[in-house]
């Protein structure tokens, strides 16, 4: 991937924005250009988009459109299973596009920062040494991938095509 030109990763600014700024998912959904992401999937209740600071190629976030704070208690069974169905389909599309040794699915954030419920979909590339897998691979402190707006748009296009192809097989 090429150099970042429009949003370089600054860990201190990231923490400040996550803890004191507006909700990044709500701002993205409202169209705020400071919170823009490439959309991979959208339906009435969910949004999936490329992570702005990925630690692995094709890292995607999936969120309910409603500002939900707790991964289990704030969703009834129907809403939870609907969200997880979207997570699964997007993860399968990521695997269709990116070579994957293991798919990592996890929800982070807290009421202290990044409070809007969201799932991370991160495909571990084959061949990563074991010592650099799992949590090590996912931590931005260990580095983020650089990409241009054009590269992000192309990745989102490939993922949308994979999702459309998967829908055609269903």
Pair 95, 151: CB distance under 8 Å: no
pLDDT, tens digit, 9 for 90 and up, residues 62-95: 999 999 998 888 999 999 999 999 999 999 999 9
User: Residues near 139 by Cβ (< 8 Å), separated by ≥ 6?
Assistant: 55
pTM over 0.85: yes
Q: Which of 35, 145, 142, 56 is nearest to 103 (CA)?
A: 56
Structure tokens at 49: 């988009």
Share of the chain above pLDDT 90, in %: 73
* pLDDT value at residue 143: 86
Structure tokens at 77: 């069974």
* pLDDT value at residue 170: 56
Pair 22, 34: CB distance under 8 Å: no
Q: How confident is the model at residue 101 (pLDDT cuts 50, 70, 90)?
A: very high
| Structural domains of the chain in order of their starting residue, each with its CATH number | 11-169 (3.30.428.10)
Say how many residues make up the chain.
170
For 21, 71, 100, 163, 167, the CA distances from 95, given in Å and listed in that order, are 33, 24, 6, 11, 15
Residue indicated by tokens 């988009």 = 49
pLDDT, tens digit, 9 for 90 and up, residues 119-134: 999 999 999 999 999 9
Give 50's strand partners: 60
Q: How confident is the model at residue 141 (pLDDT cuts 50, 70, 90)?
A: confident
């Amino acid at each position: 991937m090429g150099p970042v030109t429009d949003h370089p990763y600054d860990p201190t600014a990231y923490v400040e924005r996550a803890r004191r700024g507006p909700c990044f998912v709500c701002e993205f959904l409202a169209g705020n250009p400071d919170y823009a992401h490439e959309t991979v999937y959208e339906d009435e209740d969910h949004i999936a988009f490329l992570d702005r600071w990925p630690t692995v190629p094709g890292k995607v976030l999936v969120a309910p459109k409603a500002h939900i704070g707790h991964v289990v208690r704030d969703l009834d069974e129907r809403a939870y299973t609907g969200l997880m169905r979207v997570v699964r389909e997007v993860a399968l599309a990521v695997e269709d596009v990116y070579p994957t040794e293991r798919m990592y699915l996890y929800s982070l954030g807290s009421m202290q920062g990044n409070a809007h419920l969201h799932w991370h979909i991160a495909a571990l590339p084959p061949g990563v040494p074991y010592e650099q897998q799992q949590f090590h691979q996912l931590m931005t402190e260990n580095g983020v991938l650089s990409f241009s707006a054009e590269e992000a748009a192309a990745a989102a296009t490939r993922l949308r095509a994979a999702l459309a192809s998967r829908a055609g097989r269903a």
